[in-house]
Structure 1
Amino acid sequence: MVEDDASFRESVCAAMVAAPDMAIDAVAASVAEGMTLLNGDPADVLVVDLGLPDGSGIQLIREARQQWPQCEVIVATLFGDEDKVLSAIEAGASGYLLKDALPLSLVDEIRNVCAGGSPVSPMIARQLLRRLRSIPVVSNAGDADREPLSVREIQVLERMALGYTMAETAEHLGIAVTTVNTFVRRIYTKLGVCSKVEAIDAGYRRGLLHRN
């Protein structure tokens, strides 16, 4: 974890220590310290803030993608403006969460990203959707060759587009969270994408989702 806010960092670390299925490898409070951590053994997940005292966490995301290609990166930050969100995703972030989430919620989202999800705060998801809706739809002939989504997979994709978490989707559909994770992985495979935002974009392009 790379986070300069000591209070937030300690709260998250305490929640992770209490979780039976995860452990903290290392913590850092600056870009420089984070770069040093990347020289060590790769972690499964990197949680990084963007507003660090000596630079932007986006630098760390890019470097982590180079040195730890199998590591999932979750942004946890106060910044929700579009430029930072898009820059983080383009750099390789798998998730983007605002710090209004409780530490325990972050623990759940770490499980989410390890299961193949792309956790995004609802406000950020809606912001990204507004941007996607402003982009003209372009036909892609290659989409016709892909395996179609099932009715249930389309239902899950619709909930993703509305910004719901996997737990909320599971409750709404009356299925287990692990089942939702399975559907999400199938959606990614069938649409040929690697993230939640890409899946939603592909859903609009293929007419699986409808612009309001």
Structure 2
Amino acid sequence: MNPQDSDGLSPGAVTVLLVEDDPPARWRLHDALSGNARFAVTTAATLAEARAALKGNGPHVLLTDLQLPDGHGVDLIRETRQRFPRTEIMVISILGDEESVISAIMAGATGYLLKDAFPSDIAATIHDLVAGHSPISASIARFIVRRTQGKPPLDPPMPALNTAKLTPREIDILWGIAKGFSYADIAEHLGLSRQTVPGHIKNIYRKLEVNTRGEAVFEALQQGLIKL
């Protein structure tokens, strides 16, 4: 946890607890928010650190990942909603499957963004959240609409031909994407050159007919290519 983040709190600032275990992602989000005097940001890298940060007053906003080293973000969302009902909660995750999204929303999340679809101005998005809006990535919003309309939440399964086209190496890379690993991490784990991973991912996108990491993970989960 980074307790000094909230030093110099300006009057009327929006307090944000950012829970993200991936250092580059945490630093990127922290820098995008802390550079604005309207925000006072505290960071946590684990569920335990987040719980420690919530021992005092609740923040205006909880911005959390779902996959944490020592637990699941849904538990943190549920606990925060019970203790601090006025706190706005937004998920930032690579997971865009129906189970993860619905679980987070049912636990109390009011917004849900996929990591590969961050808005260009995350500060403005947080202000929208505080103002009562519910920022949700477009691909997630679509199946939520279908669900509330009483329609099947998913499109019919894609032909088996698409899944058969994926090589074992591509499925391994898909798993790494689902776990939120960076390209460098995936390359190291699989003994690949860092430069070859983007090419494999481009092929995966083409074969699954998707355009983002979140959509690739969603399709892979629905087709049973990977399990988390």
- TM-score range normalised by the length of the shorter chain: 0.5 to 0.7
Cα 1:105–1:133 shift into 2, 3 Å: same
Question: Which runs of 5 or more structure 1 residues have no equivalent in the other structure?
Answer: 137-212
- Please state how far the C-alpha of 1:99 moved relative to its aligned partner: 0.7
Pair 1:114 & 2:130 matched? yes
1:38 and 1:68 in contact (8 A); partners too:
no
- Please state how far the C-alpha of 1:132 moved relative to its aligned partner: 2.0
Pair 1:21 & 2:21 matched? no
Residues 73-106 of structure 1: CA deviation (Å, up to 9, x unaligned): 0000000000010000000001001011347432
2:46 and 2:69 in contact (8 A); partners too:
yes
Counterpart position of 1:134: 150
- Please state how far the C-alpha of 1:130 moved relative to its aligned partner: 2.0
Q: Name the TM-score, length of structure 2 as normaliser.
A: 0.56
Counterpart position of 1:123: 139
Counterpart position of 1:210: none
Cα 1:19–1:66 shift into 2, 3 Å: same
- Please state how far the C-alpha of 1:119 moved relative to its aligned partner: 0.7
SS of corresponding position for 2:121: helix
2:19 and 2:65 in contact (8 A); partners too:
yes
- Distance in 2, matches of 1:41 and 1:104, equals 30
Q: Which of 55, 71, 96 is 1:39 aligned to? A: 55
Q: Name the TM-score, length of structure 1 as normaliser.
A: 0.60
1:50 and 1:57 in contact (8 A); partners too:
yes
Between 103-112 and 114-123, report the one with greater CA deviation.
103-112
> Percent identity over the alignment?
45
SS of corresponding position for 1:23: strand
SS of corresponding position for 1:110: helix
- Please state how far the C-alpha of 1:135 moved relative to its aligned partner: 5.2
1:38 and 1:67 in contact (8 A); partners too:
no
SS of corresponding position for 1:73: strand
- The structure in which a higher percent of residues are strand is 2
Pair 1:74 & 2:90 matched? yes
Q: CA RMSD in A?
A: 1.6
Q: How many residues align?
A: 135
Cα 1:60–1:67 shift into 2, 3 Å: same
